[in-house]
Structure 1
């Protein structure tokens, strides 16, 4: 539903449900059997808590996806693939999201080095990664709908002998061709996610975008700037009857049930910039501009060959340059 809404296509939920039952009756039945018992998740307002994490399923090809999700509305505030996991990379993504959405009161993430920049920016007290499952739930869907396709494609390139992960030149070309395409796919996924309907207690079925907007209005109506909440404002909230909750359970969304969440990658994964390991000529603006003429435009949706021709052409051009 979210995918259709993000494309401006309006279909009733009942018609969509009927179509899915007709096309995939076994899948519908199996999904109902995987019931998850959840501990109640609570944050008072939007921007009260953002969950930040890195997704490392493409780490074999030196690609890391960093994302953040608002704990109250489940709105994805940023999601982008990069060729490294340096702290400054995550900090830049975080500040871009802040410029668009405002400052969160708190941030929760794992203890990986890439989050140190955000930690310094926020000077916040973080929970452990086991208390970061709201965004780890996002990774499950991201892997299913987007990441798995690129993982399979990169493995296919290796099997065909046109990609050698031991070659810095090959990895540089892979990033040059496919990172723009992958980020286009991630933007598309964010559009679907932020517009898909979520069961919300007492509010009907609202999308994360709708919940974020309504949550911002609710905070403003109560006289609070959720993007700049300090200790005094938090005390005012509690005096007004809005319980902030303790640090230990604030924003916790533990899952118990069949399957659980198996997408946790673990912290402390280090990814060097491939740009630092190739001849400097490849990083010159003139060189990159010339090679960019070989890329499909726009980068997403991908061409019929998924970018294979562009990748091979870039490799050939690099060999001529070197």
Structure 2
């Protein structure tokens, strides 16, 4: 194997603090065993002066970690924290990040050290980027009007699409996860895998319509299997839950237990879902950035493994909009897909009323990322107060 053709990838990995062993493992996982030994990688890096750069001082790194912990909470270890920092443009080795985590937040470090998890005991195989795409949903907060949907490439492990919505909806999933996030940005996958839920019908319908463009025509364009059969996605959800879902859910349950939140009131339900979806989506985006930039042991960094995307690329003209796809689906299947899903009842008569309430809320809470920062660090008060303020504003229009 001529390593020169992979110069950019190796250079990027060295800039992100990867060791010779890390780079070799990545190349082996890509099926490039010949020439990708640790010895050859080391010789190549020395020839091109590709040094393992430490681009920040210890003081700068610790300051960056303090800020990152404030945003992500206590559950990010060295791999995910290094990935999160890299997504922010701060590059340091996992060893230095681990040392910084021990220094800046000893209680959080001890709590992580005592936690034992077995997230993925079995392998999930895909031969190349674009062979298998898994789309799955997480309904741990469905009772509060929050549902996550993510799409992950089976080869690289990169999260290529995600959305947070009040209620799982075919058009939203197709538009925000399959269409605009995954296919338009990366290309067409040979096969889409989902569970047996009806919320994926529109995405599967379009995948079938596009099947003639695929690289591998022998493989079925989609499969419906149990979610537990998808070992890639099973690694993701526990991480999302620990870092975003459970802190936010705890804050809401605390309000319910104090009888400050009436879940029988449809305006309350609407406000709860609206704000919680926004906060949860910020946390999910942070997680996606960290996940795609972190180093997976024995494989490499998802962003690097996914470079170039799928082998078959499509243009926007080749993909129907959500509305067009739904119309075609309804015509061919004599069905009627739900066009929009709302949790509770929208109290606003028109867009003008909604904008007025949003403006007044923004005057009090101009940066809602702070609400997430406090919640993941177990300070629920700011989020709870913001939610009650939103309920108060919205109830005036009910």
Question: Do residues 112 (structure 1) and 188 (structure 2) align?
Answer: no
Gaps in structure 2 of 5+ consecutive residues: 1-81, 209-220, 315-337, 375-380
Deviation at 1:122, TM superposition (A): 0.9
Question: Do residues 3 (structure 1) and 71 (structure 2) align?
Answer: no
Q: Which residue of 2 aligns with 1:151?
A: 249
Q: Which residue of 1 aligns with 2:353?
A: 287
Q: Which residue of 2 aligns with 1:240?
A: none
Change in Cα spacing, 1:35 to 1:96, as seen in structure 2 (3 Å) is: closer
Q: Which residue of 2 aligns with 1:85?
A: 168
SS of equivalent residue, structure 1 residue 164: coil
Supply the distance in 2 between the matched residues of 1:36 and 1:179 (Cα, whole angstroms): 28
Q: Which residue of 2 aligns with 1:222?
A: none
Deviation at 1:310, TM superposition (A): 2.9
Q: Which residue of 2 aligns with 1:199?
A: 297
Q: Which residue of 1 aligns with 2:179?
A: 95
Change in Cα spacing, 1:321 to 1:200, as seen in structure 2 (3 Å) is: same
Larger Rg, first or second structure (1 or 2)? 2
Supply the distance in 2 between the matched residues of 1:227 and 1:44 (Cα, whole angstroms): 18
Q: How does 1:159-178 map to 2 (within 5 A)?
A: 159-178=257-276
Change in Cα spacing, 1:36 to 1:177, as seen in structure 2 (3 Å) is: closer
TM-score by length of 1: 0.73
Question: Do residues 137 (structure 1) and 235 (structure 2) align?
Answer: yes
Deviation at 1:283, TM superposition (A): 5.7
TM-score by length of 2: 0.60
Instruction: Pick the structure with more helix per residue.
Output: 2
Change in Cα spacing, 1:34 to 1:67, as seen in structure 2 (3 Å) is: closer
SS of equivalent residue, structure 1 residue 56: strand
Deviation at 1:29, TM superposition (A): 6.7
Residue-by-residue CA offset, 1:26-79 (whole Å, 9 max, x unaligned): 854764x8596434x322221211110010100111221111111111111122
Which of structures 1 and 2 has the larger relative contact order (alpha carbons within 8 angstroms, sep 6+)? 1
SS of equivalent residue, structure 2 residue 140: coil
Change in Cα spacing, 1:160 to 1:139, as seen in structure 2 (3 Å) is: same
Q: How does 1:44-59 map to 2 (within 5 A)?
A: 44-59=127-142
Supply the distance in 2 between the matched residues of 1:309 and 1:167 (Cα, whole angstroms): 18
SS of equivalent residue, structure 1 residue 143: helix
Deviation at 1:211, TM superposition (A): 1.0
Change in Cα spacing, 1:316 to 1:34, as seen in structure 2 (3 Å) is: closer
Supply the distance in 2 between the matched residues of 1:134 and 1:44 (Cα, whole angstroms): 14
Asked whether the 8 Å contact 2:132–2:153 carries over to 1, the reply is: yes
Supply the distance in 1 between the matched residues of 2:143 and 2:351 (Cα, whole angstroms): 27
Deviation at 1:153, TM superposition (A): 1.2
Q: Which residue of 1 aligns with 2:145?
A: 62
Asked whether the 8 Å contact 1:105–1:226 carries over to 2, the reply is: no
SS of equivalent residue, structure 1 residue 274: coil
RMSD over aligned Cα atoms: 2.7
Supply the distance in 2 between the matched residues of 1:61 and 1:17 (Cα, whole angstroms): 35
Change in Cα spacing, 1:87 to 1:143, as seen in structure 2 (3 Å) is: same
Asked whether the 8 Å contact 1:63–1:81 carries over to 2, the reply is: yes
Q: How does 1:114-263 map to 2 (within 5 A)?
A: 114-123=199-208, 124-129=221-226, 130-201=228-299, 206-213=300-307, 216=309, 225-227=311-313
Residue-by-residue CA offset, 1:72-91 (whole Å, 9 max, x unaligned): 11111122210111211211
SS of equivalent residue, structure 1 residue 47: coil
Change in Cα spacing, 1:63 to 1:27, as seen in structure 2 (3 Å) is: closer
The one of 95, 107, 113 aligned to 1:14? 95
